[in-house]
Amino acid sequence: MNLHTKITSFEASERDIRSVRDAVFGAEQQVPRELDWDGLDPDCVHVVATDDGGRPIGTGRLQPDGRIGRLAILKPWRGQGLGTRLLEALVESARQRGLEKVYLHAQLQAVSFYEQRGFEKDGAAFMEAGIRHINMTRNLQPPPARDGAPRAARVVRLKR
């Protein structure tokens, strides 16, 4: 089975985003609805994953300040590399927007996942939505040029 990911807006994909987050954060993790649905989604870049039938199976978001969050995958689809695909799509989106770093609040059981993908712990553990988290950051260096010389950073300005 092929999995499909796309960068999207909340307006274009709200129904799909809500279905995954309500299942993972609401039903599974018992995160209070008012904490998950914080009103920030319209200002974020989103990624949505779907199966071959077009059914939503994963999502995540990137806030304008570089915070990655709300990374959620339906239980039957975990452990198949989808989390990496969603995360890297958001990191690449941040890079294209000229951000120098991204950060996130990782649930403690997910720290090694993020460390394997270039994130570093930053500070002490804390409680968020009744779950232990830790802040993690990843610097976004421009990829090296093919000749080994560093490339200049590309800055993309968003129109409001």
Residue ranges covered by each domain of the chain: 4-139
- pLDDT on residue 141: 77
pLDDT in tens, 11-42: 999 999 999 999 999 999 999 899 899 999 99
pLDDT band for position 2 (cuts 50, 70, 90): confident
pLDDT in tens, 120-152: 999 999 998 888 999 999 999 765 666 655 554
The H or E element that residue 18 is part of is helix 10-21
- pLDDT on residue 129: 86
pLDDT band for position 3 (cuts 50, 70, 90): confident
pLDDT band for position 154 (cuts 50, 70, 90): very low
Give the list of residues 6+ apart from residue 19 with CB closer than 8 angstroms, or none: 56
**In CATH, what number does 4-139 get?**
3.40.630.30
- pLDDT on residue 143: 57
Selection from 75, 106, 85, 67 nearest residue 4 by Cα: 85
